[in-house]
Amino acid sequence: MLISIIVVAVVLLLVNIYLLAIFIHPDDKGFGTSIFPKIVVVLGLTLAWGQVFMVPLDVANSRGDGGGINMDVFWKIVLIADAIFLVFLIPFAIFRYEGDEEAGFFKRLWSSLCYTFGTVIFFALVIGISYAFLSKANIPLTSYGFAASNVTSSTGAVSWDTLSTNSIGHSTSLQLDVSFPVYIMAFFSFIGWIFFLLFGGLGLFAIPMDLINDFRYRPKKKTQRELANSRKDLQAKAAELMEVGQNLKRNQEKAGDETGFFSKRRVESKLNRDRNKYKATVMAFEKEYEIFKIEENYQNSNPIIAFLKLVAGILLFIVAIIWWIHILISSVLTKNGFRLTGFLNNMLVYLQEDGNVGFIATAIFMFLCLYLVWAVTKGNVKFGIRIPFLFSLHPMKRDGTLMNSFLFNVWLILVSSIACIQFVTNVFSDYVRLTTVDMLFGIQIKYMRFYEWFYENNVFEIAFLVWSGLSLFCLCICGRDKPQELKKIEQLKREIGKK
């Protein structure tokens, strides 16, 4: 189990370094540029993904499949790490990056620490004041009483056969003081639900739909003859541009021989017009050449990749549908106060109880958790914080994301992953029973004051279903995302048409 944890941590680090490399802005590329924010980004994303993987680890450990890990200590370490990143490290990295570049090192450091200290004070006041009033958890209990004469035999012994039929249940509650670290997680989890619904609800179906659209809208491959003709046209245009450039150079030399003010002004004006026209033609030629290189590279790409994307998209669409149905029938819809069915809960419990295939249940559950945090990341990249028809706040762009925007989005993903843990714990309540995470989210946080109403009435689960359903509708109607190659070609053609 420990080896698996190390392997997963290393894989996550490598994946997040790759994500940083493909999204980072050219101004921030290079090992020595903005090194501290880059470290915070990679570690923050690794923490966001890794803590969701701890739920399957907690389940496996509680069932005896693990190595006897003290998950209570494990989760407390994660709680502390979350708080440090959300309250101190990420804000400090943002302020440090956005500081005045002309100021000295210590001045920028002091300014960043002051702003970060203000952020810490703000969170401390909000969390501290709310903790004083909302740190009680009223856990519902049912107590049973019975009359001794109804359950004892003539010899005075207790008759266990009649105990259950004569007992009377009374609903009551146990008031529990929630510890401060647990309340911090409850506070950030509640905030994280907002972004989890926004990003996860969109990303649930955006993952398979984008893969399917990559196949549907893939660039049309040209034949070798068409590529050869395009190459000849470009060579002819290049030769023509070289000749025009030479003529322009000769005309510029002749312009120096002109005498007379008006004659010289007239020649220079014509030269300026010819130069501007020549520059525009050269820029259009460069874009045509870039289009040719994209089409040539795509021509050499493996066609199997496009079909693999289609197959993966279809399979992941089925996974998304299963997730949606599971949330609906095992968490939202109820009958006489009880859910309709356990659905995936029942399957995982059945596999777990079979000693020979218990690892399959752990693998399936890990994949479902992976898909959910993947959906959050996908929704963040695809949608982000966007005010419709107005503007986007720190959008994630391929090869165009500055470090302050990257840090901002890491904060959103990290706080969303806390809500993701609670979401998984709620919808798989049977499977995660008797685990440390179930004790935290399924009992203490679930029944805390103020938060209890949202969790007891499945407000977030219902909102997730509605938003993900609307997102699927929008993706099918107007969200036809095209592959990067086709987007680039269309953009270049539009730019050429404007010239």
**Residue 479, pLDDT score:** 55
Answer whether residue 1 shows pLDDT above 60: no
Answer whether residue 312 shows pLDDT above 80: yes
Answer whether residue 144 shows pLDDT above 60: no
Contact 471, 201 (CB under 8 A): yes
Contact 217, 313 (CB under 8 A): no
Q: What is the pLDDT of residues 110-123, one digit of tens each?
A: 888 898 899 899 99
**Residue 400, pLDDT score:** 78
Give Dmax (Cα) for the chain: 135
Backbone φ and ψ of 458, nearest 5°: 50, 40
Alpha carbon distances (Å) from 205 to 289, 322, 371? 36, 11, 11
**Residue 142, pLDDT score:** 65
Across 59-71, average pLDDT: 71
Q: Quick one: which of 499, 493, 487 has its CA closest to 287?
A: 493
Q: What is the pLDDT of residues 439-482, one digit of tens each?
A: 888 778 887 888 888 888 888 889 999 999 998 888 887 755 55
Q: What is the pLDDT of residues 292-302, one digit of tens each?
A: 776 667 666 66
More confident residue, 313 or 440: 313
Answer whether residue 495 shows pLDDT above 50: yes
The structure tokens 């706040």 sit at: 393
Counted residue by residue, the chain has a size of 499
Answer whether residue 246 shows pLDDT above 70: yes
Across 148-161, average pLDDT: 50
Beta strands in 366-425, from DSSP E residues, in sequence order = 385-387, 391-393
Tokens linked to 94: 């943002």
Question: Lowest-pLDDT range, 212-226, 248-262, 339-353, 422-436?
Answer: 248-262
Query: In the structure, what pLDDT confidence band is assigned to residue 95 with cuts at 50, 70 and 90?
Result: confident
Q: What is the pLDDT of residues 319-355, one digit of tens each?
A: 999 999 999 988 888 776 677 788 888 888 888 776 6
d(CA 413, CA 416): 5
Query: In the structure, what pLDDT confidence band is assigned to residue 160 with cuts at 50, 70 and 90?
Result: very low
Answer whether residue 311 shows pLDDT above 90: yes
Answer whether residue 152 shows pLDDT above 60: no
Q: Quick one: which of 450, 371, 375, 438 has its CA closest to 195?
A: 375
Alpha carbon distances (Å) from 377 to 92, 188, 275, 413? 23, 18, 48, 7
Tokens linked to 462: 């219902």
**Residue 10, pLDDT score:** 85
Q: What is the pLDDT of residues 369-412, one digit of tens each?
A: 999 999 999 888 887 666 544 445 667 777 778 888 889 889 99
**Residue 386, pLDDT score:** 60
- Vertex 365: Cα angle to 364 and 366 (nearest 5): 90
Percent helix, strand, coil in the chain, to 5, is 75, 5, 20
**Residue 389, pLDDT score:** 44
Q: What is the DSSP letter of 334?
A: E
Report the percent of the chain where pLDDT is more than 90: 16
Answer whether residue 163 shows pLDDT above 60: no
d(CA 459, CA 332): 9
Contact 388, 474 (CB under 8 A): no
Average pLDDT, the chain: 79
Backbone φ and ψ of 34, nearest 5°: 50, 50
Q: What is the pLDDT of residues 184-204, one digit of tens each?
A: 888 888 999 999 999 999 899
d(CA 216, CA 203): 19
Across 74-102, average pLDDT: 85
Answer whether residue 155 shows pLDDT above 60: no
**Residue 492, pLDDT score:** 60
The residues pairing with 12 across neighbouring beta strands, listed in sequence order, are: none
Q: What is the pLDDT of residues 72-83, one digit of tens each?
A: 888 888 888 998
- Do the strands 338-339 and 385-387 form a parallel or antiparallel pair, or are they unpaired? unpaired
More confident residue, 50 or 281: 50
d(CA 66, CA 497): 62
Contacts of 422 (CB under 8 A, 6+ apart): 189, 193, 441, 445
Alpha carbon distances (Å) from 152 to 143, 149, 165, 170, 283? 20, 6, 13, 22, 98
Question: Lowest-pLDDT range, 42-56, 107-121, 299-313?
Answer: 299-313
Q: What is the pLDDT of residues 415-434, one digit of tens each?
A: 999 999 989 988 888 888 88
d(CA 308, CA 163): 61
Three-state secondary structure call for residue 156? coil
Contacts of 414 (CB under 8 A, 6+ apart): 44, 45, 47, 48, 82, 85, 86, 90
Burial of 130 (0-12, 13-18, 19+ CB in 10 A): middle
